[in-house]
Amino acid sequence: MVRAAVLPAVGAPLEITDIELPEPGPGRVRVRLAAAGVCHSDLSLSNGTMRVPVPAVLGHEGAGTVVAVGEGVTHVAPGDGVVLNWAPYCGSCHHCGIGEVWLCAHALSGAAGIHARTADGTELHPGLNVAAFAQETVVAANCVLPAPDGIPLTDAALLGCAVLTGYGAVHHSARVRPGESVVVFGIGGVGLAVLQSARIAGASKIIAVEVSPEKEELARRAGATDYVIASDITPRAVRGLTGGQGADVAIECVGRPASIRGAWDSTRRGGRTTVVGIGGKDQLVSFNALEIFHWGRSLTGCVYGNSDPARDLPVLAEHILASRFDLSMMVTERIALDGIPAAFDNMIAGKGGRALVVFQ
């Protein structure tokens, strides 16, 4: 039995309770968690913005140590440090075949399986495949990647979602070029990763946009050269900081119609907007046909940073070990499992960066 944060039903409060994990069968790995990040996607799962089977153990951004492996698992062994990969790709669907592994048709198929049981026998699903809000988890072998040497596992947890997403949004989706200007909407965990990645890409001006003035120091530490409080005139403010033209690139990390529209309006003619934030299916963003032609801008969705974790983790590790990317500065709160509901409240209120569940 291990302690875990369970979502009993959509919209219900999380329950911190004991669950019973199975032994790892063929092709499965048991991992003792060192840490798990509290991501906005976990909040989206709990409130129904994203749909998964329930009841479920949430948490998808984590790292830990392999405890045991099932038959056929050869790329990791007991004692190895690993990063959890919540979106493993199958390698055989159409998108995998054309190199778009982040759009794998089967990436979330594991979420429908039975992951564990409560003490009374209730069957639990893994929220996004890996069920990281628990002291231990059992996952498919393709959901674990060897943790980079030299990076503490508590820090490496952030690599599983926020950092891969933010880095990929800059380098794979928006493809920021040296000297370009970048505006980032939303300075949570992913936004902080975007700021650092834009700096690594050589952006000349990096503008952070947030509703809260309290995040300015954090944003500047991550690489922001300018800070704008979000309002109806944000696009005008961004143009004022970019010679009247607008930013070359906008990266939206909020997922709200007003923020997506504001990001689009903040770019120059011919600019590029990448949307990372996840909104609801009933939240509409409107554009008129003439402005699409006139402005010549592009608007692009972005899943998991358009990343291939196996390819990108070694690159990120190099940046981290060379002190170009700082994982620890992204963490503004270290909590226990029972602190997750308060971390959700802070996200809703726009407070802090990444909250990190640290397991003892």
- Which amino acid makes up residue 181? S
* pLDDT for residue 58 is more than 90: yes
Percent of the chain with pLDDT over 90: 96
Cα separation, 154 vs 207, in Å, equals: 29
* pLDDT for residue 181 is more than 90: yes
Paired strand residues for 33 = 64
* pLDDT for residue 52 is more than 90: no
pLDDT at 240: 98
Percent of the chain with pLDDT over 70: 100
Average of pLDDT values for 301-313? Answer: 96
* pLDDT for residue 51 is more than 90: no
- Hunting for tokens 């409130």 — which residue is that? 47
Extended beta strands in the chain, E state: 2-7, 15-20, 28-38, 56-57, 61-69, 81-84, 116-118, 123-126, 136-140, 144-146, 181-185, 205-210, 226-229, 247-252, 267-275, 298-301, 331-335, 354-358
* pLDDT for residue 350 is more than 90: no
Binning pLDDT at 50, 70 and 90, where does residue 71 land?
very high
pLDDT at 312: 97
pLDDT at 50: 87
Dihedral, CA of residue 303, residue 200, residue 312 and residue 53, to nearest 10: -30
pLDDT at 224: 98
Average pLDDT over the chain reads 96
What stretches of 209-255 show up as alpha helix (H) in DSSP?
216-222, 234-241
| Per-residue DSSP letter, 148 | P
* H or E element that contains 50: none
Tens of pLDDT, residues 315-349: 999 999 999 999 999 999 999 999 999 999 998 88
Average of pLDDT values for 89-93? Answer: 96
Q: What is the CA radius of gyration of the chain?
A: 20
* pLDDT for residue 353 is more than 80: yes
Inter-residue contact 275 to 209 (CB < 8 Å): no
Instruction: Name all contacts of 119-124 with Cβ < 8 Å and 24+ positions apart.
Output: 119/1, 119/17, 119/18, 119/19, 119/20, 122/55, 123/55, 124/6, 124/19, 124/55, 124/56, 124/57
**Residues 6+ positions from 112 with CB-CB distance below 8 Å:** 53, 125
* pLDDT for residue 32 is more than 80: yes
What stretches of 242-308 show up as alpha helix (H) in DSSP?
257-265, 289-295
Tens of pLDDT, residues 184-233: 999 999 999 999 999 999 999 999 999 999 999 999 999 999 999 999 99
Alpha carbon 313 to its chain's center: 14
Inter-residue contact 56 to 13 (CB < 8 Å): no
* pLDDT for residue 269 is more than 90: yes
Cα separation, 260 vs 175, in Å, equals: 18
Instruction: Print the SS3 string covering 200-213.
Output: HHCCCEEEEEECCH
Cα separation, 334 vs 326, in Å, equals: 16
* pLDDT for residue 153 is more than 90: yes
